[in-house]
Amino acid sequence: MKAKQYKEQILLERLVTARDTAGYNMKQAAKKLGFNNYQTLSDIEKGKRTINAHELIAMAKLYSRTLDYFLDQNIAPDPIPLWRKSIEAKEKDIKSTQREFLSFLEHYHNLEHLLSLKRRWIDLQVRHSKEDFVHNGFALAQKLGASIHSQLDLGSRPACNLLQVLENNLRFKILHLPLEDVSGACVVDNTLGVGILINAKDAPWRRNFDLAHELFHVITWNVFSPEEIGEGTKKTKPEQFADTFAASLLLPEDHLREALNEVSSGGTLKLVDIIELAKDFGVSSEAILWRLAGMNGIKFSRAQAQKILDDPRFKEMDKKIRYGLYPEILPAKLPSRFVSLACRGLMDGILSRGLFAQYLGIHRAEIDEFLLTEGFVEHNYEKIASA
């Protein structure tokens, strides 16, 4: 096959792959692209009709791809995230979300590359083997949680600090999206780095636990296969280990014992005390109960924990006390570090206005107002940079 024919074949294959991984069928994509009928798109993908530059740019934008993806012969295949989703999750929605997630990671990686920032996450990965988890996996997961808590210096209330530490100290790329039937996802890639996706619609305490849960999969990325972990529809052993790790990380034993002594009256733990502990540590009441049931020296069994969780009075009390504390405001979609890097890149002249608008999901006409809102006024920025 001649070089020109080979390039054309690669382009056709990637047009189909890009559409499919973005979650569009032929008719949906053709409508979005403004074609009169889907046959036009079909002819383009089959090589029966030549695609023009304007159409290729439109497809790149619709499919959340760069032009290099279609034109460069040496593009690496997309990394595959680990998902935690329900049985009801639709494949089309997962594909669309995955492409948005990976596109965010690609943009973030490009910003770090332009600003010559190095990754820091790799030293966090553990050197344990699968066999280490076979005989006493839960104890090892708990030990890992305590070790990472100490290594990251997360303090007495880790849930308050975990997101900032992972984003700013370790340069994890964390995206919040309003999702349906999905708790989260994570991916580790030698080029893109570490990415974690969190459901923005979940309650704050649930997001905290999910972040810690995904962290376990990141640090054990090379230990368990995707098939062993599953997609969240079943509580596999690695998923149970991840929950144990998250509880140990977010509820450090010494600090939890200290808080427990403060809230309990005469050694008696009331239902409201459990909820107060959960509020204090930024986790769910369920997480508190299972953590207490697994701690040595505390006369509290898993059977007691389950009995409380099944108690309608407790459920109602927990709902009223917990949900009334938080306004229904979704967390910011993009990390503040990502936004700051994009602003720096634009102000330093190493990122075009077009890419800046694309990365931030805004119109080019909104750029100056956006910079002003973020405090990146040109006059002030020049003074700071000079200093």
What confidence tens digit (pLDDT) does each residue in 252-282 have? 999 999 998 888 766 677 888 899 999 999 9
Residues forming a β-bridge with 175: 197
Cα 114 to Cα 359: distance, rounded to the nearest angstrom: 14
Q: Which residues of 52-89 are buried (b: 16+ CB within 10 A; e: fewer)?
A: eeebbebbbebbbbbeebbeeeeeeebeebbbbbeeeb
pLDDT digits (tens, 9 = 90+) for 53-69: 999 999 999 999 988 89
Do residues 205 and 278 touch, judged by C-beta distance below 8 A?
A: yes
Structure-block tokens of residue 152 = 């990251």
Does position 5 have pLDDT exceeding 90, yes or no?
A: no
**Predicted confidence band of residue 128 (pLDDT cuts 50, 70, 90):** confident
Q: Which CATH number fits domain 114-250: 2.40.50.420, 1.20.140.10, 1.10.3720.10, 1.10.10.2910?
A: 1.10.10.2910
Element (H, E) at 176: strand 173-177
Q: How far is the CA of 116 from the CAs of 24, 65, 109, 343, in angstroms?
A: 35, 23, 10, 15
Do residues 18 and 29 touch, judged by C-beta distance below 8 A?
A: no
Read off the pLDDT of each residue in 178-185 and give the average, rounded to a whole number: 93
- In this predicted structure, what is the pLDDT of residue 8? 85
Query: Tell me: domain 1-75, CATH 1.10.260.40, correct?
Result: yes
Read off the pLDDT of each residue in 88-97 and give the average, rounded to a whole number: 91
pTM: predicted TM-score of the whole model, two decimal places:
0.90
What mean pLDDT is reported for the chain? 90
Q: Where are the domains of the chain?
A: 1-75, 114-250, 254-323, 336-386
